[in-house]
Amino acid sequence: MIAHTGDSRLASLKGGLVVSCQAYPGEPMRSPAIMAAVAQSVVAGGAKGVRAQGIEDLQAIRPLVDVCLIGLVKRGADGVFITPTVADALDCVTAGADIVAVDGTRRDRPDGQPLAATVAAVHAAGALVMADCGSLDDALYSVAAGADCVGSTLAGYTGERPVTRGPDLDLLTELVAQLTVPVIAEGRIRNPDDALACLEAGSYAVVVGSAITHPTRITQTFAEQLTHGRTALSDEGRHPDRDE
Ligand SMILES: CC(=O)N[C@H](C=O)[C@@H](O)[C@H](O)[C@H](O)COP(=O)(O)O
């Protein structure tokens, strides 16, 4: 399985910020038109890439931004839920994703296919694969399956790594040391200092979600600090999709 690490779409992300534009089920901003406006806004602010969830959101965003689009489909919030099947991955390509983000863990997938089958299908359709991993072993498995880059997206969410306050810099350092494909930092990056620390740890690019595009979460950090003072653990290991 050959990874396409020299691809210009991946190269366009090097050293840059990717912004994840997602609203969760039942939230007021859960609308393709709203997510498309958010995506345009983050590109205007300097994002080199946009990460988005859902076929309708991808279809709405694709014509409006000319940066690299990382697409995914979420099915639930437990087990293998990030682009879990080959069919989901191909739908993301059809909707305009340059890179498809898929679950890169060693867990069984709902369609019974190995990760390599998804990678092969996405490559055949002309797109790249970002494997969302929860550990070094996941990342090694994903690279062997042909993933073009790996993300620390699931670190802290699969039981293999602690839920760090801020990004899992130890894992990022380990991934950078062990892998030859680009390592993309993602998960619990709270501010520009965190983002820079990820690049300094050797990450190829940095994906930030909630801290930029989730107003409820951002507001909570302000409100909790005002209520409880500076010692409040307002942003420790929480995720808007499962911890509200
Ligand atoms: C674990 C999971 O479901 N992560 C999802 C992956 O697409 C998103 O809900 C996150 O917002 C994204 O990874 C960015 O992370 P953060 O919002 O912490 O900056």
ipTM attached to this prediction: 0.99
Q: Which residues of the chain have pLDDT under 50?
A: 232-234, 244
Which of 3.50.50.60, 3.30.1360.200, 2.60.120.330, 3.20.20.70 would CATH assign to domain 8-213?
Answer: 3.20.20.70
pLDDT of residue 242: 58
CA of 114 to the centre of ligand 1 (A): 23
**Nearest-CA residue for atom 12 of ligand 1:** 209
pLDDT of residue 1: 61
**Nearest-CA residue for atom 11 of ligand 1:** 209
CA of 36 to the centre of ligand 1 (A): 18
- Give the bridge partners for 128, in sequence order: 99
Ligand 1 atom closest to the CA of 132, numbered from 1: 6
pLDDT of residue 234: 46
Q: What is the pTM of this model?
A: 0.95
Roughly how many angstroms between the first and final C-alpha of the chain, as a whole number?
A: 40
Q: Tell me which DSSP letter residue 80 carries.
A: S
Q: 55: how many CB neighbours lie within 10 A of its CB?
A: 18
For residues 166 and 153, give the distance between their C-alpha atoms in angstroms, rounded to a whole number. 12
pLDDT of residue 231: 56
**Helix and strand tally (H, E) in the chain?**
10, 8
pLDDT of residue 233: 46
pLDDT of residue 232: 47
Ligand 1-lining residues (CB < 6 angstroms): 20, 22, 72, 153-154, 157, 186-189, 207-211, 239, 241
pLDDT of residue 5: 74
Q: 60: how many CB neighbours lie within 10 A of its CB?
A: 21
Span 115-126, pLDDT tens digits: 999 999 999 999
CA of 63 to the centre of ligand 1 (A): 23
CA of 153 to the centre of ligand 1 (A): 6
**23 and 212 Cβ atoms separated by less than 8 Å:** no
CA of 4 to the centre of ligand 1 (A): 24
Q: Tell me which DSSP letter residue 158 carries.
A: S
pLDDT of residue 237: 57
Span 17-76, pLDDT tens digits: 999 999 999 999 999 999 999 999 999 999 999 999 999 999 999 999 999 999 999 999
E strand or H helix at 89, and its extent?
helix 86-94
